[in-house]
């Protein structure tokens, strides 16, 4: 999934759905592999927010959201004013590493390129029509996970990856905690948590998961690979941050936002030797009601995840 919030065309019903999704939670926006045409790939926005959208030493010193942020930005001109004015703030953070990492720098450059590319949808519209006509999606097959729909985009992606000496994702398949155990030898959860999503051949994965009524998105990106996943956190200034040593022995950073009253959000990150792991804790429970998360709930969730294996 990629961020397309500035490129959505909406009727009245879609406007309301859009506003509700944006107000519900900060959703992870990952480069989800798609087999459909690029028009579908570029018109999915923050869906994980309502339907789901870190003994061993850490790789670097503990840092927080400020070291992951791409900075504050405003909603684009294609979002209707009546929706835009009631939207929450927009601030994206990297899910691939801190600001001094090549993975972060590559994502930052890619997002800056996308922000001014195909602003009138003409290129993606033409590509979508061609995909429907030929029933083929050549860029999707060659660049899974990046939502490429033109040669110019493909060239830019290759250019950025080469600049930062990063590899690109290859093949992918479905995964859950059982497949992670069989394929990667990872016992990702300690007890009753479960989830499902997808995994790349290099071991990067993303799963929509649940634990004792808490919905969360668990993501692992691999060092040395260009992964353009990111997350809208709203406003980093509203988060309280602290470090916590988990049951797995890994110390993680927890960012907790309870400024919205019952609307509580949390992000857990672990900066590890071979990967960067993030947990986007959604504010909705199994009944899609606000879950009123406490700090203890978040730390209990952090203890459920086997960060040492990731």
Give per-residue pLDDT as tens, 189-227. Answer: 999 999 999 999 999 999 999 999 899 999 999 999 999
CA distance 2 to 105: 17
CA distance 115 to 95: 18
Per-residue confidence (pLDDT) for residue 62, from 0 to 100: 53
226-259: b (≥16 Cβ within 10 Å) or e: bbbbbbbbbebebbebeebebebebbbbbbbbbe
Residue 285: count of CB within 10 angstroms of its CB? 16
What are 242-258's pLDDT values in tens digits?
999 999 999 999 999 87
DSSP codes joined into one string, 27-75? -EE-----SS-HHHHTT--STHHHH----PPPSS----GGGTEEEEE--
Share of the chain above pLDDT 70, in %: 73
Per-residue confidence (pLDDT) for residue 64, from 0 to 100: 82
Q: Which two tokens stand for residue 215?
A: 């919905």
256-276: average pLDDT: 85
Q: Which two tokens stand for residue 228?
A: 């353009």
Per-residue confidence (pLDDT) for residue 287, from 0 to 100: 76
pLDDT grade for 164, boundaries at 50, 70 and 90: very high
Question: Coil, helix or strand for 221?
Answer: strand
Question: Coil, helix or strand for 233?
Answer: coil
What are 30-68's pLDDT values in tens digits?
444 444 334 333 332 333 333 333 323 333 345 788 899
- On whether the CB atoms of residues 230 and 39 are closer than 8 A, the answer is no
The residue ranges of DSSP E strands in the chain, in sequence order, are 28-29, 69-73, 90-94, 172-176, 194-200, 205-211, 214-222, 230-232, 240-245, 251-260, 263-271, 275-281
Lowest mean per-residue pLDDT among 92-96, 137-141, 217-221: 137-141
Residue 246 sits at the vertex; the CA angle it makes with 230 and 94, to the nearest 5 degrees, is: 10
Per-residue confidence (pLDDT) for residue 53, from 0 to 100: 32
139-155: average pLDDT: 91
Per-residue confidence (pLDDT) for residue 47, from 0 to 100: 32
Q: Tell me the C-alpha to C-alpha distance, in Å, between residue 144 and each of 45, 147, 247, 249.
A: 18, 7, 35, 34
Nearest CA-CA partner of 280 in 239, 223, 224, 247: 239
133-150: average pLDDT: 90
Q: Tell me the C-alpha to C-alpha distance, in Å, between residue 115 and each of 73, 144, 175, 218.
A: 11, 20, 31, 26
The pTM of this model reads 0.77
Per-residue confidence (pLDDT) for residue 262, from 0 to 100: 59
43-82: b (≥16 Cβ within 10 Å) or e: ebbbebbbebbbeeebbeebbbbebbbbeeeebeebbeee
- On whether the CB atoms of residues 232 and 1 are closer than 8 A, the answer is no
The DSSP element (H or E) to which 84 belongs, if any, is helix 81-84
């Amino acid at each position: 999934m990629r961020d397309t919030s500035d490129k959505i065309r909406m009727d009245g019903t879609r406007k309301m759905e859009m506003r509700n999704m944006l107000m519900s939670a900060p959703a992870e926006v990952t480069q989800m592999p798609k087999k459909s045409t690029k028009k579908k790939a570029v018109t999915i926005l923050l869906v994980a927010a309502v339907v789901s959208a870190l003994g061993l030493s850490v790789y670097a010193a503990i840092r927080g959201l400020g070291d992951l942020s791409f900075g504050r930005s405003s909603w684009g001109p294609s979002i209707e004013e009546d929706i835009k004015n009631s939207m929450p703030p927009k601030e994206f953070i990297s899910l691939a590493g801190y600001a001094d990492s090549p993975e972060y720098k590559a994502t930052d450059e890619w997002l800056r390129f996308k922000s001014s590319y195909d602003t009138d949808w003409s290129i993606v519209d033409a590509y979508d029509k061609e995909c429907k006509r030929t029933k083929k999606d050549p860029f999707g097959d060659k660049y899974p996970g990046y939502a490429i729909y033109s040669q110019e985009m493909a060239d830019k992606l290759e250019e950025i990856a080469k600049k930062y000496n990063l590899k690109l994702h290859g093949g992918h398949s479905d995964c859950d905690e059982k497949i992670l155990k069989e394929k990667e030898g990872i016992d990702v959860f300690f007890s009753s948590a479960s989830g499902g999503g997808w995994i790349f051949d290099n071991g990067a994965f993303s799963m929509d998961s649940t634990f004792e009524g808490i919905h969360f998105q668990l993501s692992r990106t691999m060092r040395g690979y260009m992964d353009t996943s990111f997350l809208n956190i709203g406003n980093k200034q509203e988060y309280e941050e602290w470090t916590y040593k988990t049951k797995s022995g890994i110390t993680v950073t927890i960012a907790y936002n309870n400024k919205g009253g019952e609307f509580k959000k949390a992000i857990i990150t672990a900066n590890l030797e071979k990967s960067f792991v993030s947990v986007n804790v959604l504010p909705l429970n199994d009944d899609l009601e606000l879950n009123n998360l406490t700090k203890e709930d978040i730390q209990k969730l952090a203890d459920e995840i086997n960060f040492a294996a990731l």
